[in-house]
């Protein structure tokens, strides 16, 4: 799969029309963009820092399944096999990404990490600085390094001196090492909720879930209707309207867990989505909390004298702490100097749009859409390919 000639040291292509489009990242977003570009006759070269495609998916915990349906999670040009079932498992996602790259004969260079992107010296295209002193010049660049790029761990006081086991959720694989142990999971996003359930089912003696802001919890599927379908239907409706419609649906479908420490959130569901907080899809959390198998506790404030200090002033001594505290996109070193990121480190635009001051630079996979990440990556890929082909076509016409 690797093509060493495409990323040889000091490889700078002088002719603008001969420059490929470089896609940074060999995950689903990058692969989809590369296929869509190739389908429009544009040479696309995927640069992947690991030795295989789908690296981030290979690192996810064992029980992970897509929360979106198989049919609405396929990338352009290749359906997911029916044998994967409705909710596709992690290992099947990896197999699909491998097959996708092979099926479309994508040009992928592995073991190459891009550290910086800047305008090409001749004023057309982009210059990429990569491992081994490589300098690659592309007619356009698609950044697809992923929403979950670098683990985020809050700067809790005293954590360095904590004697118990501490790990980020990105290091968690399964519950076997925690059987018979007291575990605190910090963070109630989809990952934290699922890890708490996995620990309970895997035999942990006690599982507590530290919650700062109560999340919206939705059923993954109700009477055969997946939550993703609703997300697709409402994604373009006004935020206030979706918030209003979601309240009675939540009351009907999800029990009130206030007595167990997990009250209904005060902010609207879609308002929270726009702030970056995707609803938690229930894969057993509701039942586990209701039965007391997962105990809800206050947020973590810090660590002191071998104990975890919670926001309500209480202290606990778990055997292990798992921080399901999310990830950062870590784009600052790559493109931060180009003034294309907002205050939270997110690209100011995505999909077919380029930043005004960075024509030919595209981003995909840095939003967390209510309608499903894979589905939006597929849509973005087609839009990006169309925009790139149009841009390169204009450049070639102007050069004649």
**Token pair for residue 174?**
């399964």
- Residue keyed to tokens 């592309």: 138
**Token pair for residue 303?**
């660590």
How does pLDDT run along the chain (400 residues), one tens digit per residue?
444 334 333 333 334 557 999 999 999 999 999 999 999 999 999 999 999 999 999 999 999 999 999 999 999 999 999 999 999 999 999 999 999 999 999 999 999 999 999 999 988 899 999 998 999 999 999 999 987 778 999 999 999 999 999 999 999 999 999 999 999 999 999 999 999 999 999 999 999 999 999 999 999 998 889 999 999 999 889 999 999 999 999 998 899 999 999 999 999 999 999 888 889 999 999 999 999 999 999 999 999 999 999 999 999 999 999 999 999 889 999 999 999 999 989 999 999 999 999 999 999 999 888 899 999 999 999 999 999 999 888 777 776 6
**Token pair for residue 339?**
């003034």
- Residue keyed to tokens 């995505």: 350
Helices 373-399 and 28-39, packing angle to 10 deg: 40
- Residue keyed to tokens 């649906």: 249
Q: For residues 145 and 329, is the Cβ–Cβ distance under 8 A? A: yes
Q: How far apart are CA 351 and CA 45, in angstroms?
A: 18
Three-state secondary structure string covering the chain? CCCHHHHCCCCCCCCHHHCCEEEECCCHHHHHHHHHHHHCCCCEEEEECCCCCCHHHHCCCCCCEEEEECCCCCCCCCCCCHHHCCEEEHHHHHHHHHHHHHHCCCEEEECCCEEEEEECCCCCCEEEEEHHHEEEEECEEEECCCCCCEECCCCCECHHHCCCEEEEHHHCCCCHHHCCCEEEEECCCHHHHHHHHHHHHCCCCEEEEEECCCCCEEECEECCEEHHHHHHHHCCCCHHHHHHHHHHHHHHHCCCEHHHCECCCCCCHHHHHHCCCCCEEECCHHHHHHCCCEEEEECEEEEECCEEEECCCCEECCCEEEECCCEECCCHHHHHHHCCECCCCCECCCCCCCCCCCCCEEECCCCCCCCCHHHHHHHHHHHHHHHHHHHHHHHHHHHC
**Token pair for residue 396?**
């070639």
The rounded Cα 3 to chain-centroid distance in angstroms is: 27
**Token pair for residue 311?**
């926001």
pLDDT of residue 209: 98
Pick left, alpha or beta for residue 102 (phi over 0 → left; psi -120 to 50 → alpha; otherwise beta).
alpha
Q: How far apart are CA 232 and CA 370, in angstroms?
A: 7
Q: Which domains does the chain have, with CATH numbers?
A: 4-149+329-399 (3.50.50.60), 153-323 (3.50.50.60)
155-158 LR contacts (CB < 8 Å, sep 24+): 156/300, 156/301, 156/302, 156/303, 157/302, 157/303, 157/304, 158/302, 158/303, 158/304, 158/309
State phi, psi for 233 to the nearest 5 degrees.
-70, -35
Pick left, alpha or beta for residue 273 (phi over 0 → left; psi -120 to 50 → alpha; otherwise beta).
alpha
**Token pair for residue 288?**
């586990």
Q: How far apart are CA 370 and CA 391, in angstroms?
A: 30
Residue of 373, 333, 328, 327 lying closest to 350 (CA atoms): 373
């Amino acid at each position: 799969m690797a093509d060493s000639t495409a990323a040889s040291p000091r490889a700078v292509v002088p002719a603008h029309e001969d420059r490929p489009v470089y896609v940074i990242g060999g995950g689903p977003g990058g692969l989809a963009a590369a296929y869509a570009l190739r389908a429009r006759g544009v040479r696309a070269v995927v640069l992947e820092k690991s030795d295989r495609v789908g690296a981030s998916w290979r690192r996810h915990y064992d029980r992970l399944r897509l929360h979106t349906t198989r049919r609405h999670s396929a990338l352009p040009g290749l359906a997911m096999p029916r044998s994967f079932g409705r909710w596709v498992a992690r290992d099947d996602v990896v197999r699909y990404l491998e097959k996708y790259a092979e099926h479309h004969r994508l040009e992928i260079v592995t073991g190459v990490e891009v550290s910086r992107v800047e305008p090409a010296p001749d004023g057309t295209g982009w210059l990429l600085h990569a491992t081994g002193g490589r300098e690659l010049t592309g007619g356009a660049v698609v950044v697809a390094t992923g929403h979950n790029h670098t683990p985020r761990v809050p700067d809790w006081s005293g954590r360095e001196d904590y004697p118990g086991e501490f790990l980020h959720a990105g290091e968690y694989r399964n519950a076997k090492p925690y059987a018979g142990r007291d575990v605190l999971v910090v963070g109630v996003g989809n990952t934290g909720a699922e890890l708490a359930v996995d620990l309970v089912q895997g035999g942990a003696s006690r599982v507590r879930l530290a919650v700062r802001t109560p999340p919206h919890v939705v059923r993954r599927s109700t009477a055969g209707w997946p939550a993703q379908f609703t997300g697709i239907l409402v994604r373009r409706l006004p935020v206030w309207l979706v918030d209003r419609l979601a309240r009675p649906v939540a009351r009907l479908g999800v029990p009130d867990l206030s007595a167990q420490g997990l009250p209904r959130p005060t902010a609207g569901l879609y308002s929270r989505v726009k702030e970056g907080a995707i609803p938690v899809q229930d894969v057993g959390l509701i039942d586990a909390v209701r039965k007391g198998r997962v105990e809800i506790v206050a947020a973590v404030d810090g660590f002191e004298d071998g104990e975890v200090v919670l926001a309500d002033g209480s202290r606990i001594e778990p055997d292990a702490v798992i921080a399901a505290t999310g990830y950062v996109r870590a784009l600052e070193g790559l493109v931060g100097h180009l003034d294309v990121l907002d205050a939270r480190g997110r690209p100011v635009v995505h999909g077919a749009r380029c930043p005004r001051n960075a024509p030919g630079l595209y981003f995909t996979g840095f939003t967390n859409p209510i309608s499903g990440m894979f589905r939006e990556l597929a849509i973005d890929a087609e839009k990006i390919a169309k925009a790139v082909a149009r841009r390169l076509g204009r450049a070639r016409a102007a050069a004649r």
